[in-house]
Structure 1
């Protein structure tokens, strides 16, 4: 299950580009209240564990921040980072078919903290669902009780 705060349109495309690719992190303050209220409306899980989608070391160095971590910290609650992102070419440069058939996007860093937990993956945008699918599969295989996702934008 994925829940999103906003729908993708030309306005949100520009906002996301400024936030994510141009480092305008001050924009996060604009959607903080919407993120918090949408999350509360969408999830009634008693003690969810937030898992922000990680960036590869290369992408983190390039951007200087992880936008998914920023979103997760707006929500509050326990945040874990059990996944490592394998560096690949940018998702935004790939066609839908290429995104859906990628393999080995993530590796598991640690499994103990997620066993029998309700996990909510946090990401900036849900396009094809490939990123969330790959992350959820690894977490479920490692023993997570359930895995859902929450994104800022859904296209």
Structure 2
């Protein structure tokens, strides 16, 4: 008995379609949404500070800022420097709701992290924590890009994420236009833990799109460490170079 109706025309098979690179719009010739050429030419972060991932001229060094004022977080893992085309891709994801770009970057970050877990002894965290967005900016934008990244990373790496553990009860001035010292003052008292937060003895990784001065990451990591966290790492897409470099 043949229940399937006959159909002589071509059938759309999603698994056989040619994927288009989200960077150059050329066919990728694979199931990936970025072609091999574009992936190779991304501004991969090479030599950097072992703590904050600031680009440095040599590997295995700790930058002067981290030596003078060690941050509360253990280390920053970022695949790229914040330069073209990564800066454009992140901006379009963050401000223009180009979510496929964010998902592509999160997938590449997950691959980078898994490689580090497998080859360098980097310890996976117990939980991923997205950096909370101020309520006013969340209403204006409609979504928190850090939460979306954490969700995609959680799915790719099979590491749970918690969007409710960290709170941002107080509004602050946007960090982008502030210098390093003003950023730190701006964040005083900006964050809090949820009343039922389970922190004691746990290893967390903060998730965000870009790390600039590290003030936000330091403030959140200090909050977690003071509450008894065992370790706090930072996972982000890109690290900005030192101004003027």
The equivalent position to 2:89 in structure 1, one of 9, 15, 33, is 15
The CA distance in 1 between the partners of 2:209 and 2:89, in whole Å, is 11
Q: Is the 8 A contact 1:7 1:153 kept in 2?
A: yes
Which is further off, 137-146 or 92-101? 92-101
Q: How much has 1:105 moved relative to structure 2?
A: 2.4
User: Which contiguous aligned blocks of 4+ residues in structure 1 show a shift greater than 4 angstroms?
Assistant: none
Q: Could you say which residue in structure 2 is the equivalent of 1:98?
A: 182
Equivalent residues in 2 for 1:45-56, closer than 5 Å: 45-56=123-134
Structure 1 or 2: larger strand share?
Answer: 1
Aligned-pair Cα RMSD in Å: 1.7
Residue 210 of structure 2 corresponds to residue 125 of structure 1: yes
Partner SS, residue 78 of structure 1: coil
1:54-99, Cα deviation, whole Å (9 max, x unpaired): 1121111111111111111122221123111231111112123311
Larger radius of gyration: 2
Residue 222 of structure 2 corresponds to residue 137 of structure 1: yes
Q: How much has 1:135 moved relative to structure 2?
A: 0.3
The equivalent position to 2:153 in structure 1, one of 75, 88, 109, is 75
The equivalent position to 2:167 in structure 1, one of 63, 80, 84, is 84
Structure 1 or 2: larger helix share?
Answer: 1
Partner SS, residue 79 of structure 1: coil
Comparing both chains, which one has the higher relative contact order based on Cα–Cα distances under 8 Å and sequence gaps of 6 or more? 1
The CA distance in 1 between the partners of 2:137 and 2:225, in whole Å, is 26
TM-score normalized by structure 2?
0.59
**Structure 1 gap ranges (5+):** none
TM-score normalized by structure 1?
0.90
